[in-house]
């Protein structure tokens, strides 16, 4: 389950279908309003606006990172809110008919050390996932001023423009009474880039981590139950799959949609938004060392290697393509409800005992779903110093994708001519037996 993996913050917000409008909806959350604030009627996004943005003539030296940074900074108001708890400020733009994505990250360390990273690239898609990224560290050598105003508030200046970045202060956020099981420790609060909040907890008895849905605030999603079990709840917007705990009044994250994880969208799960600003002393490192004792002396208190190239991956949830791949977790939970190992049902991957030698980044994993039969192993070291703890061709901290399956919406080639679908089927609809729907 857990592996020291890369940590830059490259992401891709464009998902299948109406991906650009998914981007706009989330971008509105992260850019224009305070989380949970009542802003009246919903914000309308039109195809007209999209067409005019895509077809409009724009001028930008995209090969010059400082020119792109100046464009981004000049496009921001004087003060912005950085919601994700690993301090990534995401952005997107269109240029020359191509979508671009990127982020500004304010990386905080001990002793008030601050490093500001700027990344951008042509956005990823199902049909193109090898777009190279551009990454620079922003400091005085590039004419960028970085100033700490107060705790969790920083000011960036460049070329006459100054923007204040207010990091998300969740220091008073705690799980409600009765939300933790015996033997569990609260590591810290998480605000994911999906606009969903979590509690990161560690079960010292079973040596497993869990992401618990934070329902102390209004959850920015609607959930529907799976066809087989009403304890498996799936988000209509995020695709996050939660299990309604049989022992406590809480929901545990058990799955994210495989396409979002592979493309590193806003909905790839909270593994890349750990509560760095709110980790108490050695709490996280101690938990990691209980899981993987071989890492003693090899990680800092955030779970990163001393040179910062790789970080311990906390990803207990599975990736799924159909909801049937999640049914195993309910089968396991029903079978173990009275057993001490009950909460082990919600761990999709076993821990790694050490950093180990890097495996082949292109090697496919088994991609098995959660099941009572046992977990699958997903462990690969993707670090690349030249790309700041990130292999640009693989999402950060991401395990290899499952074995190749039929591409989304593709008809089975043996039965039908290439790219040809049966006549008279509704637009974009495939027969149920092809999609695995029963």
Please, which pLDDT band fits residue 221 given cuts at 50, 70 and 90? Answer: very high
Q: How many CB atoms lie within 10 A of CB 392?
A: 21
pTM confidence score: 0.76
State the pLDDT at residue 310: 86
Please, which pLDDT band fits residue 29 given cuts at 50, 70 and 90? Answer: very low
State the pLDDT at residue 111: 77
- Tell me: pLDDT of 24 over 50: no
Rounded mean pLDDT, 17-32:
40
> What is the pairing mode between strands 161-167 and 79-82?
parallel
Whether the Cβ atoms of residue 323 and residue 227 lie closer than 8 Å to each other: yes
SS (H, E, C) the chain: CCCEECCCCCCCCCCCCCHHHHHHHHHHHHHHCCCCCCCCCCCCCCHHHHHHHHHCCCCCCCCCHHHHHHHHHHHCCCEEEECCCCCEEEEEEEECCEEEEEEEEEEECHHHCEEEEEEEEECCECCECCCCEEEEEECHHHCCEEEEEECCEEEEEECCEEEEEEECCCCCCCCCCCCCCCCEEEEEEEECCCCCEEEEEEECCCCEEEEEECCCCCCCCCEEECCCCCCEEEECCCCCEEEECCCCCCEEEEEEEHHHHHHCCCCCCHHHCCCHHHCCCCHHHHHHHHHCHHHCCCCCCCCECCCCCCEECCCCCEEECCHHHHHHHHHHHHHHCCCCCHHHHHCCCCCCCCCCCCCCCCCCECCCCCCCCCCCCCCCCCCCHHHCCCCCCCCCCCCCCECCCCCCCCCCCCCCCCCCCCCCCCCCCCCHHHHCCC
Q: Which two tokens stand for residue 203?
A: 């079960």
pLDDT tens profile 354-404: 543 232 322 323 232 333 333 332 322 222 222 233 333 333 443 444 433
d(CA 7, CA 84): 14
d(CA 148, CA 156): 9
- Tell me: pLDDT of 88 over 80: yes
Please, which pLDDT band fits residue 32 given cuts at 50, 70 and 90? Answer: very low
State the pLDDT at residue 26: 41
Domain ranges of the chain: 8-167, 184-387
pLDDT tens profile 157-197: 999 999 999 999 999 999 999 999 999 999 999 999 999 99
Rounded mean pLDDT, 212-239:
97
Place of tokens 């508030």: 153
């Amino acid at each position: 389950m857990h592996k020291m993996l890369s940590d830059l913050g490259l992401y891709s917000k464009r998902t299948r279908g109406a991906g650009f409008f998914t981007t706009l909806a989330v971008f509105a959350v992260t850019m224009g309003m305070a989380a949970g604030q009542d802003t009246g009627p919903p914000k309308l996004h039109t195809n007209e606006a999209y067409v005019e943005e895509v077809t409009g003539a724009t001028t930008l030296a995209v090969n010059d990172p400082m020119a792109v940074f100046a464009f981004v900074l000049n496009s921001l108001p004087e003060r912005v809110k950085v919601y994700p708890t690993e301090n990534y400020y995401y952005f997107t733009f269109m240029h020359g008919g191509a979508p671009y994505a990127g982020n500004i990250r304010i990386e905080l360390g001990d002793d008030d050390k601050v490093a500001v990273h700027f990344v951008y690239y042509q956005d990823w898609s199902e049909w193109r996932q090898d777009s190279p990224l551009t990454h620079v560290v922003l400091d005085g050598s590039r004419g960028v001023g970085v100033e700490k105003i107060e705790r969790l508030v920083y000011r960036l200046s460049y070329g006459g423009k100054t923007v204040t970045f207010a990091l998300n202060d969740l220091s008073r956020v705690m799980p409600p009474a009765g939300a933790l099981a015996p033997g569990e420790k609260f590591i810290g609060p998480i605000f994911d880039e999906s606009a969903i909040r979590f509690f990161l907890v560690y079960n010292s008895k079973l040596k497993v981590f869990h992401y618990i849905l934070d329902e102390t605030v209004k959850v920015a999603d609607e959930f529907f139950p799976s066809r087989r079990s009403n304890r498996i709840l799936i988000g209509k917007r995020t695709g996050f799959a939660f299990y309604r705990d049989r022992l406590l009044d809480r929901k545990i994250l058990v799955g994210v949609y495989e396409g979002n994880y592979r493309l590193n969208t806003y909905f790839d799960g909270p593994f890349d938004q750990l509560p760095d600003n709110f980790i108490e002393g050695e709490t996280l490192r101690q938990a990691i060392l209980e899981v993987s004792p071989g890492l003693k002396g090899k990680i800092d208190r955030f779970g990163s290697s001393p040179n910062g190239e790789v970080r311990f991956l906390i990803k207990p949830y599975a990736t799924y393509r159909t909801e049937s791949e999640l049914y195993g977790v309910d089968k396991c939970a029903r079978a173990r409800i009275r057993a001490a190992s009950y909460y082990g049902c919600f761990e999709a991957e076993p821990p790694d005992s050490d950093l180990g030698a890097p495996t082949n980044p292109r090697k496919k994993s088994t991609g098995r779903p959660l099941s009572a039969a046992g977990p699958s192993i997903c462990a690969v070291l993707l670090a690349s110093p030249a790309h700041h703890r990130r292999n640009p061709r693989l999402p950060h901290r991401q395990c290899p994708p499952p074995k190749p399956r039929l591409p989304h919406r593709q008809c089975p080639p043996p039965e039908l001519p290439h790219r040809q679908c049966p006549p008279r089927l509704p637009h974009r609809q495939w027969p149920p037996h092809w999609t695995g729907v029963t």
